[in-house]
A and B are shown apart, each in its own frame.
Chain A
Amino acid sequence: MKLEAIGLKKYFPLTSGFSLRGPRGWVKALDGVSVQVAEGETLGIVGESGSGKTTLAKLFLLLERPTSGSLLFDGKAVGDFGREDLVRYRRAVQAVFQDPYSSLNPRMRVGQIVAEPLPRDNGMSRPMVAQRVAEVLQLVGLPRESPALYPHEFSGGQRQRIAIARALVTYPKLIILDEPVSALDVSIRAQILNLLKHLQEKLGLAYVIISHDLAAARYLATRLAVMYAGKLVETGECDAVYAAPLHPYTEALLSAALPLHPSARRQRIVLAGEVPNPVNPPAGCRFHPRCPRVLPQCSSQEPEWREVKPERFTACHLY
């Protein structure tokens, strides 16, 4: 299983209502992102608001179509998918979202919710469906009686388990986790993160975990991709990036993520300014207005995406 994004761009039109002229401008949510996930690994995508990470997740899940660029699944371009391919993709790629309350339809029973991704037409019989549902519910540690109950009878952490069970029901290869624990209580996060890790080992799953919480991303990810203002700024093996970030933004991001001891402090880099306007991003390197190590060419020339060290990619004029 391999999912590959090549030069993905997603621009949203800025229109004022029902205008007959073209859009006034474009929100460049994603501006050329190339990244890949292979079987069994976990790609962590980190970034702040406006980075484009959520848009990337939507593209992976085919909830939006890219403005340009392509997405390849096992070598075949998603744009060329036929009906069969689409069905297969949907079964192989599932998702868990941030909000355990809005992820479950309050009017459906848990059993129905979990069974939803399973094929209806000439797929599985009722008893088979019930059995599979029971299997996944047990995998995530929910009680046997759960299928008949409604979501409101469960706590936040348990609801997230239901969401995870549902993502597992079709024997997927890849699960997109969009901020899977951000909305949960701190003591519950460990439960869910451990569960995700355990499931990955047991079932050979690949994950894409999108998070603004660098600590949670670090716990699960094998590879890390850092995004800023719609572009990728750095990728590499997870621990390597955390230990020695290449791009100044990664450095600042990591230094802002607070470690769990008063004296364990990284060199504190506090960035000035704000995340750029996606309609009109800065020329050259998007980060240059805030970069503590800015060079003259950064404001005019966009840096090239290069492999600076073995398996470590970045786009920065420093290299």
Chain B
Amino acid sequence: MREPSPLLVVENLKTHFFTRRGVTKAVDGVSFTLHAGETLALVGESGSGKSVTCLSLVRLVPEPAGRIVGGRVLLEGEDLLQKSSAEMRRVRGKKIAMVLQDPLTSLNPALTIGTQVGEVVRLHQGLRGTPLRERVLEAPRRLRIPAAGTRLRHYSHQFSGGMRQRVSSAIGLSCAPRLLIADEPTTALDVTIQAQYLELLKEVQASAGVAIILVTHDFGIVAAIADRVAVMYAGRIVEMGSTLQVFDNPSHPYTRALLRCLPDVGLKREQLVEIGGQPPDLARLPQGCPFAPRCPERQPVCHETYPPSVPVAGGHAASCWAAPGAKTRA
């Protein structure tokens, strides 16, 4: 059951990096909404802006080079971009949790796992003593970390990669956040361990009602667990819709090209259709649509103006001049 009002509303988010080489528009006008209990996948390649988007949501963009230069991020109605650092600190961990790609560096090797979980719980829930201990046991148990009681006294190097990722997630989930942002959480994991982890994630979501933003470059993962998917390219969302909609009817040439160029474990393809060219230089984006130089369906207008978001079906839209219904300027 969807709650009527969305948990997260992102409007026209822009995050730019200012370096000697110029301005890199890592995120350039990203908008989406997310409801409780929903999983949104942000898909794209390196440089698409998906990771920077996540960092922007929690305002952890590396400064001074990076700066959020525009937009609004409304979490339960409140604009996170307007909050003070102290207020943000209360949001992070409590309302929004993050799980990152590398389980090795996400955990402090010098502290026991129990300490690290406890740290977060104590900070956000103010628990001490027995209630703290019980809370600390909950999350690892929920993430099926075997013998959670004893293992809480262990250090990160005593866990395998998959386990570490679960521990990181346990830390993230220990304060029952409303939103979990997972940035490529399974990229460093073996495929069978990845399957375990994704199952677990789905279970936790079902029981705790947490919304998940999953950043990935793997369409297989998207197909497996995402409810909705946003395809990103050069700092913008080029297509967004439910997973079924986007897979069945990819409406942006980039999405189509991506799906066609991936080898599928399910069938033996004769030929992978390549996407020509190279990913764009974010410091020197061409005028108009950034995908135009590589797009098999480009038209003159594509090189001049960035295409508007064209609705394809209910809840499914693509930013493309070639999408049916796109009104080309005279």
Q: How far is the CB of A210 from chain B (nearest CB, A)?
A: 14
Least CB separation from B271: chain A residue: A194
Q: Are A215 and B191 in contact (CB under 8 A)?
A: no
Q: Are B264 and A259 in contact (CB under 8 A)?
A: yes
Binds A, one of B30-38, B77-85, B253-261: B253-261
Chain A residues within an 8 Å CB radius of B279: 185, 187
Q: Are B265 and A185 in contact (CB under 8 A)?
A: no
Chain B residues within an 8 Å CB radius of A259: 220, 223, 264-266
Given contacts A190-B261, A190-B273, whether A48 and B266 have CB atoms under 8 Å apart is no
Chain B residues within an 8 Å CB radius of A271: 192, 195-196
Contacting residue for B274 out of A48, A194, A215, CB 8 A: A194
Interface footprint category on B: 35 or more
Least CB separation from A260: chain B residue: B264
Which of A155, A254, A270 has the largest count of B CB atoms less than 10 A from its CB? A270
Q: Are B192 and A216 in contact (CB under 8 A)?
A: no
Which of B162, B219, B220, B266 has the largest count of A CB atoms less than 10 A from its CB? B266
Q: How far is the CB of A297 from chain B (nearest CB, A)?
A: 24
Q: Does A11 contact B (CB under 8 A)?
A: no
Q: Does B243 contact A (CB under 8 A)?
A: yes
Q: How far is the CB of B238 from chain A (nearest CB, A)?
A: 13
Chain A 238-267 interface 0/1 with B at a Cβ cutoff of 8 Å (1 = within): 110010000000001111111111111110
Least CB separation from A46: chain B residue: B191
Least CB separation from B43: chain A residue: A186
Q: Does A15 contact B (CB under 8 A)?
A: no
Chain A residues within an 8 Å CB radius of B190: 48-49, 212, 275
Contacting residue for A253 out of B45, B192, B266, B268, CB 8 A: B192
Q: Complex: how many Å from CA A155 to CA B193?
A: 31
Given contacts A49-B190, A190-B275, whether A258 and B269 have CB atoms under 8 Å apart is no
Q: Complex: how many Å from CA A212 to CA B218?
A: 14
Least CB separation from A255: chain B residue: B195
Q: Complex: how many Å from CA A265 to CA B265?
A: 11
Q: Complex: how many Å from CA A55 to CA B173?
A: 38
Q: How far is the CB of B154 from chain A (nearest CB, A)?
A: 14
Given contacts A157-B278, A270-B196, A270-B199, whether A258 and B221 have CB atoms under 8 Å apart is yes
Q: How far is the CB of A164 from chain B (nearest CB, A)?
A: 15
Contacting residue for B272 out of A155, A194, A212, A262, CB 8 A: A194
Least CB separation from B191: chain A residue: A256
Q: Are B278 and A155 in contact (CB under 8 A)?
A: yes
Chain A residues within an 8 Å CB radius of B45: 185-187
Q: Complex: how many Å from CA A181 to CA B81?
A: 39
Q: Complex: how many Å from CA A254 to CA B195?
A: 11
Q: How far is the CB of B228 from chain A (nearest CB, A)?
A: 11
Q: Does A219 contact B (CB under 8 A)?
A: yes
Chain B residues within an 8 Å CB radius of A266: 266
Q: Does B148 contact A (CB under 8 A)?
A: no
Chain B residues within an 8 Å CB radius of A261: 223, 247, 266
Chain A 211-238 interface 0/1 with B at a Cβ cutoff of 8 Å (1 = within): 0111110110000000000000000001
Q: Does B127 contact A (CB under 8 A)?
A: no
Q: Does B112 contact A (CB under 8 A)?
A: no
Q: Does B263 contact A (CB under 8 A)?
A: yes
Q: Complex: how many Å from CA A186 to CA B194?
A: 19
Chain B 260-294 interface 0/1 with A at a Cβ cutoff of 8 Å (1 = within): 01111110110111110011000000000000000
Q: How far is the CB of B121 from chain A (nearest CB, A)?
A: 27
Q: Are B263 and A193 in contact (CB under 8 A)?
A: yes
Q: Are B265 and A254 in contact (CB under 8 A)?
A: yes
Q: Complex: how many Å from CA A272 to CA B145?
A: 11
Q: How far is the CB of B282 from chain A (nearest CB, A)?
A: 14
Q: Are A212 and B278 in contact (CB under 8 A)?
A: no
Chain A residues within an 8 Å CB radius of B272: 190, 193-194, 219
Least CB separation from A47: chain B residue: B190
Q: Complex: how many Å from CA A121 to CA B10?
A: 65
Q: Complex: how many Å from CA A248 to CA B272?
A: 30
Chain B residues within an 8 Å CB radius of A260: 219-220, 223, 247, 259, 262, 264, 266
Q: Are B244 and A262 in contact (CB under 8 A)?
A: yes
Q: Complex: how many Å from CA A213 to CA B268?
A: 14
B276-329 interface with A by 8 A CB criterion: 278-279
Given contacts A48-B191, A270-B199, whether A262 and B275 have CB atoms under 8 Å apart is no
Q: Does B160 contact A (CB under 8 A)?
A: yes
Q: Complex: how many Å from CA A258 to CA B192?
A: 10
Chain B residues within an 8 Å CB radius of A216: 263
Contacting residue for A215 out of B46, B162, B259, B265, CB 8 A: B265
Q: Complex: how many Å from CA A186 to CA B271?
A: 15
Q: Complex: how many Å from CA A263 to CA B245?
A: 12
* 23 CB-based A-B contacts, threshold 8 Å: A48-B190, A49-B161, A157-B278, A185-B46, A186-B258, A186-B262, A190-B272, A190-B273, A190-B274, A191-B275, A193-B263, A214-B265, A218-B263, A219-B263, A219-B268, A256-B195, A260-B220, A261-B247, A270-B196, A271-B192, A272-B196, A274-B160, A275-B190
Residues of chain A touching chain B, judged by Cβ–Cβ distance below 8 Å, are 48-49, 155, 157, 185-191, 193-194, 212-216, 218-219, 238-239, 242, 252-266, 268, 270-272, 274-275
Q: A187-B258, A218-B264 are in contact. List 5 more A-B contacts (CB 8 A).
A: A48-B192, A186-B217, A190-B262, A256-B192, A260-B220
